[in-house]
Structure 1
Amino acid sequence: MLAPFLIMLREGLEAALIVGIIASYLRQTGRKEWLPAIWVGVLLAVAMSLFAGAALQLVAAGFPQKTQELFEAVIGLVAVVVLAGMVFWMRRAARSIKAELQGSVDQALAHPGGAGTWALIGMVFLAVAREGLESVFFLLAIFQQSRDAAAPIGAALGVITAIGAGWAIYAGALRLDLRRFFRWTGVFILLVAAGLLAGSLRALHEAGLWNGLQERVYDLSHVLPESSPLGTVLSGLLGYREAPTLGEALACGLFLAVTLVLFLRPQPGPLPAPAQIAGRK
């Protein structure tokens, strides 16, 4: 439950910040009449993300067993790439996201007549749909590899919390240290992605496409079984396995060694303050 909650909190907060920056800029520049276009773009993006998730689930339900394992592996690998990409994108874009979005708004509204409205809707739609599709692939991967019944509840609570936090930041009622928030949730997401990567290798093996490096590295079934309360939490949170194979251990180790070093290395110059990113009324 915690992993879906934190991931959806971060994804939702990213989307809320983008929408908040655009809405704040329209208010500050006296263009409140364009605000409804923002919500149209948001609703279209949410609808498209839900449709994509439902379509993928329906397609997967009709596959035979081995094909379902392959589908699970592909979704897991896509989720790993998406999660890692999202972490590094926010690390790189946090410094300039406000200026870039404001420039894009000006360009969109420079179109004559109704074209400006559609340009703004399209801009918001693409920004929010990106977060929505990332969430779809992550949730599909997590739900397929973890049978935790509380995972959907955690995801829903994460989205609700993100919406509330995003609105509070936009209204000026909440000052959140976004630098630390995105840094530590980024580390957590990379750990989750490593677990998804190991689970994808396991699914490829069950699909008959990966049969190498199947030796067991260790067996903690007598010390910390996956069926124990702590093992269940670690399995759902970080993809813990009581007896991982050599291939799974190598994949996790290499992935974390590369991504954590790149993510945690110092960046020149300070990140913008929360008020600078979110804007105020």
Structure 2
Amino acid sequence: MLGSLAALAQPVVPAITPDPSRGAPLYVQHCAVCHGDAGAGDGPAALGLEPPPGDLRDAARLDRLSLHDLFAVIGQGRDGSDMPAFADQLDERQRWDLASYIAGFSAVPGVAASKPFALADLAGKTPAEVAASGGDVAAFRAQRAHPPLQQRGPGELIEHTRSTLQQSLQAYRAGEHEQAFDLSVGAYLEGFELVESALDNLDPQQRKITERALMAYRQGLQDGATVAQAEQALAVAAAELDKSAALLADGAMGDSLSFFSSLLILLREGLEAILVLAAILAFLRNTGQQAAARSVHIGWGLALLAGVATWAVAAYLIDISGAQRELLEGATALFASVVLLWVGVWMHDRRHAAAWQDYIKSSLVGGGGRFGFAVLAFFSVYRELFEVILFYETLWLQAGPAGHGMVLAGAGAALVLLIGLAWVILRGSRKLPLAAFFSANAVLLCVLSVVFAGHGVAALQEAGVLGTRPVTFFEFDWLGIHADAWSLSAQALALAGIATLYGRSWLGERRRAAAAKMAASSE
């Protein structure tokens, strides 16, 4: 696998700290067949290969290669040998993880250093260079095999977006259009998207302009733009990224900004979920079915556990990409939109039902009805919980140790406001007649259905599943309104569904009223 490498450009620093535990299964899958399980070059496929696979345990050879050299040869292959290039099979993060795992074959585990080496040094320097400068080479070998975790603040995230966009353009110039598009998606989701919340609190308009520029570049790649057009679109996006980076460059935030940033993250992302939960719980209480509320509480409780578990799995066990994250959010939002629409119209249909209590007892709160409410509660809460945790991770870094208390205070204040809103809905609904309550609840759920439809399509666009078609229209993110033809079309479709179902309900009422009138007159 290893050999002389051509001179490389400036060392590339990984955007995410390499994780050898993620590299281990990649080694087994792609490398062990030739290099052997222990890296000795004695794998079952090594017989007859010329030159033979290298011994990855040979410290003298590995000391002449940087982590970036290993990363590069994994992606490009080795000239004059049977080793293939893995750039089309492994993404950038996987290649860094694999390089770190391979570096561990020549390292002595558990060697401590007085202080951690910088990630740039671990990636760009060789052990031989560290030894020549009088550094602790044993500690350097150990650390590049298990790099200390370095969390990314806003500056690192925007730099990741910049560098990945440049890779995307290089791939597009080389005719690798699909890879270029995938890189453009990752550039946004693994970088800029995670600082959007912080940027929103500084300059919402700049956040929107930057996001549109990134989406325009991506859409140009998808539409088959010329290289010159792609370069121009990227130049515009890069200029907007520079402006956004300048706004975030101060690093630590003031106490008030830390507080309000934290408050708005949870308030904005939790508002829709709390409205759904409050509407369902008020409905169950006002119809005398408090026992069924347990299913709702189980639903949102499981959603909290699932959201935290998803984040933990993504952070420590497997790689959940930004595209997968947005795909999950988009799918759950659209599912919730359909369910909310159905429940809202269903409530509207029964606001005047004479045998309402009998209907509830016979069918609503049976196993199927309770399960349906639990599912709706689960998806309403789980939909964005994973992303909320990522937003708070970024805010935590940007606020710095001095601002952590204000971040927690902001989250606590948002939680109090959300609980207070739920209490107001539950208490206020008691004073409404049953018919008026059902009508108000139905309208609320149908409005949320339209909001979820807009958010769902926007998430799928961010994941790269759907394209973007910007139009001249106002934006209101809290209502899921985006100046995009596809997102607006989804909301228009939801509105059409509401109008159709409400129209059917109205005609049904007219027919029932006419039948009742005829029956009364015949008596």
Assess same fold via TM > 0.5: yes
- Alignment partner, residue 494 of structure 2: 255
Q: Match of 1:217, as an amino acid?
A: V
Give 1:92 shift. Answer: 3.0
Secondary structure of the corresponding residue to residue 88 of structure 1: helix
Q: What does 1:15-164 align with in structure 2 at a 5 Å threshold?
A: 15-18=284-287, 20=288, 38=291, 42-43=293-294, 45-61=295-311, 62=314, 63-94=320-351, 95=353, 96-102=355-361, 127-128=369-370, 130-141=372-383, 152-161=415-424, 163-164=426-427
Give 1:140 shift. Answer: 3.5
- Alignment partner, residue 27 of structure 1: none
Decide which of 278, 298, 301 is 1:9's aligned counterpart.
278
Instruction: Report the TM-score, using the length of structure 2 for normalisation.
Output: 0.35
Whole-angstrom distance in 1 between the partners of 2:447 and 2:386: 18
Give 1:157 shift. Answer: 2.9
Give 1:50 shift. Answer: 3.5
Q: Match of 1:86, as an amino acid?
A: V
Instruction: Report the TM-score, using the length of structure 1 for normalisation.
Output: 0.60
- Encode CA deviations 1:22-58: one digit per residue, 9 max, x unaligned: 58xxxxxxxxxxxxxx4xx654x25522442124313
- Alignment partner, residue 200 of structure 1: 456
- Alignment partner, residue 77 of structure 2: none
Higher Cα Rg: structure 1 or 2?
Answer: 2
Whole-angstrom distance in 2 between the partners of 1:159 and 1:219: 32
Decide which of 218, 225, 229 is 2:472's aligned counterpart.
218
Give 1:210 shift. Answer: 1.4
CA gap of 1:129–1:17, structure 2 versus 1, over 3 A, is: farther
CA gap of 1:17–1:185, structure 2 versus 1, over 3 A, is: closer
Q: Note if contact 2:481-2:487 (Cα within 8 Å) is conserved in structure 1.
A: no
Does 1 or 2 have the higher relative contact order (CA < 8 Å, sep 6+)? 1
Q: Which residues of structure 2 form unaligned runs of 5+?
A: 1-266, 315-319, 392-409, 514-523
Q: What does 1:170-181 align with in structure 2 at a 5 Å threshold?
A: 174=431, 176-181=432-437
Q: Match of 1:215, as an amino acid?
A: R
Whole-angstrom distance in 1 between the partners of 2:387 and 2:450: 13
Whole-angstrom distance in 1 between the partners of 2:433 and 2:283: 14
Secondary structure of the corresponding residue to residue 472 of structure 2: coil
Give 1:245 shift. Answer: 1.4
Q: Which residues of structure 1 form unaligned runs of 5+?
A: 24-37, 106-122, 221-225, 227-233, 271-281
CA gap of 1:158–1:187, structure 2 versus 1, over 3 A, is: same
Q: Note if contact 2:275-2:422 (Cα within 8 Å) is conserved in structure 1.
A: no
Whole-angstrom distance in 2 between the partners of 1:217 and 1:99: 50
Between Structure 1 and Structure 2, the one with more helix by share is: 1
Give 1:185 shift. Answer: 3.8
Q: Match of 1:64, as an amino acid?
A: S
CA RMSD of aligned residues (A): 3.6
Whole-angstrom distance in 1 between the partners of 2:367 and 2:324: 33
Give percent identity, aligned residues only.
18
Q: Note if contact 2:277-2:296 (Cα within 8 Å) is conserved in structure 1.
A: no
